[in-house]
């Protein structure tokens, strides 16, 4: 359905080139070859797209809930029918293995299904006779034109966290996907059009910082949702808020997994490998720090090393692939630089993925980096403090449960955390004491279902609202309270045309 050789914007239900003066290459990470050129919007292009969205919002907000839900159900069916097409585009431009890409689409579809129930989510409250002949009711109404600025690591799922809910609530939505892998966004736009969404309700602006800044400061944009690194999340939040916009900005993470001495070590090792190296570690919920509460560290590390040796690292479309390449050569080299920094800082590099090679079928130029495993990592090291966003797992040894919890709570981030144990009392205490927005008990990647909301604490979130679920509905709507008084016809008599009661 989508020709990915040229990737333009999406305006009023069709592709649009904009001024077309600037483009950026899109790579196949498995080969290193340029496969497309994405257009980069100018500020004037953003003006045009925002004007379209504002005009569309005026009509779409008046659409009945039944009309909106019918479009959403049609979009859901089309997304399901074309989920493999979307997944293939993701693998071709991001590099993650095909099964991961399919899973990403599936998790995004859950939010579409949640949005299909928007009539229930938008029900207000009513209080009768708060005073004599006075009633009060509340409603939630759409905010206006909302923008989403999304990262490269989930080119379908993260946008799907945002725009189904925003559109279901009656807003118009402008998506600014990552310029590294924007192909999936255009296919989803085509599916919206086929589902019957009016032109302009969903637009796409491709671009880089120039487009982001234009959206953040544009007077026609009412709110912005963002997912990305913490420094950029802080910038987005401060810039958008200063411009008077509603902003939710989800930042980076340094997700910990604590393993207590009573844990099932085989299950913990399986979880550490899948959560640490899945999607080449390019997940905001990836486990990057394994906190082993002694005396389990040595035994657990041995099990992890055994599992790493069995991983198949190759092109994500190859059957049986466990891990694909990183998204760009620059990012691969950045991650490899952190591996060397860890060695220089004194950590013990047990598994060095920098030596991995994938030579079959012209993959010699691919952006591959194998799993890396460090032991004896301390909280003073850069590999512990910084979000690396690659296949690097650091083992920190803790002396007790209290030591492990203190270590996690002192970290600047508070996105996700997991505990592996057989002790229900320890798990209950952990749930209460840990300072993070998403907690897993014997679950390494505790991403909430669509009817809950996703988001972290501390430097992992700027703003006070998480994405999708009830908080997503709250973000994309504004509350209004209406107080009414109507004269009682019994007491007013025939002057209003009502019968007189005696």
C-beta neighbour count of 133 within 10 angstroms: 12
Helix (H, G, I), strand (E, B) or coil at 25: strand
For 389, which DSSP code? -
Q: Are strands 145-149 and 172-176 parallel, antiparallel or unpaired?
A: parallel
Q: What is the pLDDT of residue 41?
A: 97
Active-site hit among 116, 169, 284, 372 = 284
Instruction: State whether the Cα torsion 32-36-42-48 is positive or negative.
Output: negative
Q: What is the pLDDT of residue 364?
A: 86
> Which of the residues in the chain have pLDDT under 70?
1-4, 490-502
Q: What is the pLDDT of residue 499?
A: 54
Cis, bond preceding 115 (omega within 30 deg of 0): no
Angle CA 48–174–84, to nearest 5? 125
C-beta neighbour count of 142 within 10 angstroms: 21
- Is 113 exposed, middle or buried (CB count within 10 Å of its CB: 0-12, 13-18, 19+)? middle
For residue 136, what are the β-bridge partners? Answer: 127, 483
32: left (phi over 0), alpha (psi -120 to 50) or beta: left
pLDDT 10s digits, 448-478: 999 999 999 999 999 999 999 999 999 999 9
Look at the block and give the residue holding tokens 């923008």.
147
284 labelled catalytic: yes
Helix (H, G, I), strand (E, B) or coil at 134: strand
pLDDT 10s digits, 57-105: 999 999 999 999 999 999 999 999 999 999 999 999 999 999 999 999 9
Whole-number Å distance between alpha carbons of 476 and 225:
10
Q: Which two tokens stand for residue 265?
A: 């070590």
Residue 112: name the closest of 191, 199, 228 by CA.
191
Q: What is the pLDDT of residue 491?
A: 61
């Amino acid at each position: 359905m989508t020709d990915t050789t040229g990737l333009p914007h999406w305006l009023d239900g069709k592709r649009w080139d904009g001024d077309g003066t600037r483009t950026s290459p899109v790579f196949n990470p498995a080969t290193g070859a340029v496969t497309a050129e994405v257009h980069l919007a100018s500020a004037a292009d953003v003006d045009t797209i925002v004007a379209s969205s504002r005009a569309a919002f005026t009509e779409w907000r008046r659409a009945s809930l039944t009309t909106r839900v019918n479009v959403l159900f049609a979009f859901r069916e089309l997304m399901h029918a074309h989920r493999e097409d979307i997944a293939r585009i993701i693998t071709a431009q991001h590099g993650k293995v095909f099964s991961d890409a399919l899973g990403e689409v599936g998790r995004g579809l859950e939010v579409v299904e949640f949005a299909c129930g928007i009539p229930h989510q938008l029900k207000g409250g009513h209080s009768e006779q708060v005073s004599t002949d006075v009633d009060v009711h509340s409603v939630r109404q759409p905010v206006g034109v909302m923008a989403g600025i999304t990262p490269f690591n989930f080119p379908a799922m993260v946008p799907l966290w945002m725009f189904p809910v925003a559109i279901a609530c009656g807003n118009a939505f402008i998506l600014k996907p990552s310029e590294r892998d924007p192909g999936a966004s255009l296919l989803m736009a085509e599916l919206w059009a086929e589902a019957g969404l009016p032109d302009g309700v969903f637009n796409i602006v491709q671009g880089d910082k120039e487009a982001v800044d234009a959206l953040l400061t544009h007077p026609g944009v009412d709110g912005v949702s963002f997912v990305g690194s913490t420094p950029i999340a802080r910038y987005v939040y401060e810039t958008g808020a200063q411009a008077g916009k509603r902003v939710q900005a989800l930042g980076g993470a340094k997700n910990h997994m604590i393993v207590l001495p009573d844990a099932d070590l085989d299950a913990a090792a399986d979880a550490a490998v899948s959560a640490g190296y899945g999607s080449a570690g390019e997940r905001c919920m990836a486990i990057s720090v394994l906190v082993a509460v002694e005396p389990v560290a040595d035994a657990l590390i041995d099990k992890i090393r055994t599992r790493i040796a069995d991983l198949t690292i190759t092109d994500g479309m190859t059957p049986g692939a466990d891990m694909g390449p990183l998204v760009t050569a620059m990012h691969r080299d950045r991650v490899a630089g952190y591996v060397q920094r860890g060695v220089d800082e004194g950590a013990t590099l047990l598994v060095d993925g920098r030596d991995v090679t994938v030579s079959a079928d012209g993959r010699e130029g691919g952006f591959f980096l194998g799993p890396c495993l460090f032991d004896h990592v301390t909280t003073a090291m850069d590999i512990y403090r910084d979000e690396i966003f690659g296949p690097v797992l650091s083992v920190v040894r803790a002396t007790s449960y209290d030591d492990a919890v203190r270590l996690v709570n002192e970290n600047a981030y508070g996105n996700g955390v997991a505990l592996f144990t057989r002790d229900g009392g320890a798990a209950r205490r952990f749930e209460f004491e840990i300072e993070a927005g998403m907690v897993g008990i014997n679950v390494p990647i505790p991403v909430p279902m669509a009817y809950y909301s996703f988001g972290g604490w501390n430097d992992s979130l700027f703003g006070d609202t998480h994405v999708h679920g009830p908080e997503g509905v709250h973000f994309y709507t504004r509350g209004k309270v209406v107080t009414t008084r109507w004269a009682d016809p019994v007491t007013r008599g025939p002057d209003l045309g009502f019968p007189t009661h005696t």
